Amino acid sequence: MVNVIGLGYIGLPTALMMASHGVEVVGTDYDEELVATLNAGKTTFKEEGLDELFSTALNAGITFTTEYQSCDTYIVSVPTPYDKLDKKIDPSYVVAACKTVLDVAPQGATLVVESTISPNTIDRFVRPLLEEAGRQDIALVHAPERIIPGNMVYELVHNNRTIGADDVEVGERVASLYASFCEGEISVTDIRTAEMTKVVENTFRAVNIAFANELAKVCRIGGMDVYEVIRIANKHPRVNILQPGPGVGGHCIPVDPWFLVGDYPETANFIRLALQTNFSMPEYVLQRAYEAMKEHGITDSSKVGIYGLTYKEDVDDVRESPTLQMLEAQAEHLGGAQMKIYDPWVETDVVPNQVHSMDEFLEGLEMVIVMVGHSQVKGKPELFGNRILIDPRNVMGKGKFVYKL
Ligand code: SAJ
């Protein structure tokens, strides 16, 4: 039996996927409300294919509880925030979960950490727990997740995976557990390499996006169309530049690279600069909007609305979202102007001035900043009538009053 600890964005789909492929699974989370929702037959976030997977897993017998189980394999997928001041990983949730596992795990059980962790986290924070508890019988494994929100269910099955273990035999055993549903290639390596590859993958993407964002700024000064430049440069067989945008959000790309900067502050300079470049984008967009307001004689910021609150299109996750970053910049440096905000994917109130329908949003607006290219609006500028559009995602097409980055 597998006990998946932490039923968030990664733990839940992983637990459901295993259960749907013949593995006996119990899902555990310390959040009673979340467990109650799952036990009432409802998923806790929106994701393509998740509801179907949930019913298959329920039929296959998955159960949810707040209790840790006695079983042969544990998969820990709890969050790993980072300390915003020193930029280092905060392993406290992982440590707490692993400690509780050690209290209940039978002799010889396997403890798999799926949470994203910086290189050496297992050695520094988890291995000592085994020593303290006299539980060297427990096999430690790191199996970092790689699935992308918006396409998680597909990627769980089709992505390649990495399994890091002290012992190749343990690694292969855990690889065959994941192979119950994973059709990709599974590389078995040591734990530190597995930790590093995960952080490196997200850092690669952060650096590439930062490059695109810097190009956007350069092209604007130089009077060039950055999207056309990138489109054509990418025709080169060895060039693949990502897209510039209003900033980088989510719980991974703007967070994980900081683990390297935090641990290697003297060396990881290039990565730090990339993160700072990405972080500068929300305010850059805001300045762009203020310039356009000036140009069009709009003096009242209540006539400007922000469309999109999530960190990217067609997901309901607002963590570290560029819109939230932009609102923070607005409050801190630019005198808390109160723009109306709407996101069809966010039903609860996350920020003041949030409205819950497109009609209510558009009423009285002369300008809209399209921070997220949800399918609802992508390629449909007519939905905004003849309002001036600030379009940092390049999703509105060309238009007389459409301002790109
Ligand atoms: N973004 C851009 N330009 C782009 C692509 C993305 O500005 O060309 C922005 C997005 O709008 C968003 C942010 O970057 O704000 C991050 O979005 P994303 O779609 O690039 O990535 P995530 O955070 O949803 O998922 C990433 C993935 N990592 C990689 O592709 C290397 C996913 O595979 C990981 O599993 C996930 O991080 C994770 O959990 O670590």
Ligand 1 atom 9 nearest Cα: 248
Q: What is the pLDDT along the chain (405 residues), one digit of tens a residue?
A: 999 999 999 999 999 999 999 999 999 999 999 999 999 999 999 999 999 999 999 999 999 999 999 999 999 999 998 787 777 789 999 999 999 999 999 999 999 999 989 899 999 999 999 999 999 999 999 999 999 999 999 999 999 999 999 999 999 999 999 999 999 999 999 999 999 999 999 999 999 999 999 999 999 999 999 999 999 999 999 999 999 999 999 989 999 999 899 889 999 999 999 999 999 999 999 999 999 999 999 998 899 999 999 999 999 999 999 999 999 988 877 666 679 999 999 999 999 999 999 999 999 999 999 999 999 999 999 999 999 999 999 999 988 789 999
Q: Which overall architecture, per CATH, does domain 235-403 show?
A: 3-Layer(aba) Sandwich (3.40)
pTM reported for the whole predicted model? 0.93
Residue 400 appears among annotated catalytic residues: no
Domains 2-189 and 235-403 share a fold: yes
Give the residue, by CA position, lying nearest to ligand 1 atom 32. Answer: 148
Q: How far, in Å, CA of 342 to CA of 356, rounded?
A: 6
Closest approach atom of ligand 1 to CA 10: 39
Helix pair angle (269-295, 322-333), 10° resolution: 70
Instruction: Using alpha carbons, select from 404, 230, 248 the residue that is nearest to residue 320.
Output: 248
Q: Which CATH number is 2-189 given?
A: 3.40.50.720
Confirm whether 98 is a catalytic residue: no
Q: How far is the CA of 376 from the centre of ligand 1 (A)?
A: 20
Q: Which of 262, 276, 321 is CA-nearest to residue 89?
A: 262
Q: Any idea where the domains of the chain sit in the sequence?
A: 2-189, 235-403
